[in-house]
Amino acid sequence: MNKQRLYALITGISLLVMAVVAGISMSYLSPILTLSFEEFGNKLTSIHSALFSSIIGWGIILLTDLIVSFSLFKYYQAKHPSKSKWMGAMRLIYSLILAFAISKLIGAYQTSLLGNSVQAYYLIHSFNYIWQSGLIIFGIHLILLAPLVKSGTKILKVLYFFILIAGLGYVFSNTLNLFIPNYEEYRMYVELPFIIPMVLGEVGLAIWMLIRGGRETTPFQQAVAS
């Protein structure tokens, strides 16, 4: 197995694990984020397990993000040495921001065990705000990744489009979140045009990496794929 194929497999597996775990983690955390302060205080003792499960999930997401930061950089380094560095660096910076956000979530869990609902509520929403702000950097990472993905094949051209639009969506939506009060009331409407690219961009890239990434192709195979 050549190194390109190895990095492709690492990237594909990590992205798919990340996607699955992210869905599970948010299923635990999203209901907590929608609680009012009063509801949160009343349900404090019943959300410990959900918070703990979410923290485990976000820890896995952070680990896979760090892996992808490196594996994507190594995969594209040979053909795009400078661009791949910037692309990988942006994902690494996002991962560091995510790590800081997760520390808030851990703090929320610890304070909730002590019965401090005020501090726990503040820390959970701090996690959400820091993570969403970090998605601006993640969006920039995708914008830098998109041209590296683009090649002569139709599939990669579609993935290029999805990844680029997803990146623009992350930057646009989460920048608005910094300046518009109560932005969560409007977020779903703003992100609606970007939903499909956001979902299919990295997942599609993961599947392509697992099936085709790093494989040697003959001229005939390239002609069929294009």
The CA-atom distances, in angstroms, between 137 and each of 45, 87, 140, 197 are 35, 10, 5, 17
Q: Report pLDDT for 224.
A: 38
Q: Does the model's pTM come out above 0.85?
A: yes
72 φ/ψ angles, rounded to the nearest 5 degrees: -65, -40
Is residue 45 over pLDDT 50?
yes
Domain boundaries of the chain, sorted by first residue = 3-214
pLDDT band at 46 (very low <50, low <70, confident <90, very high): confident
Q: Which of 1-10, 32-41, 88-97, 176-185 has the highest mean pLDDT?
A: 88-97
Say if CB 190 and CB 132 are below 8 A apart. no
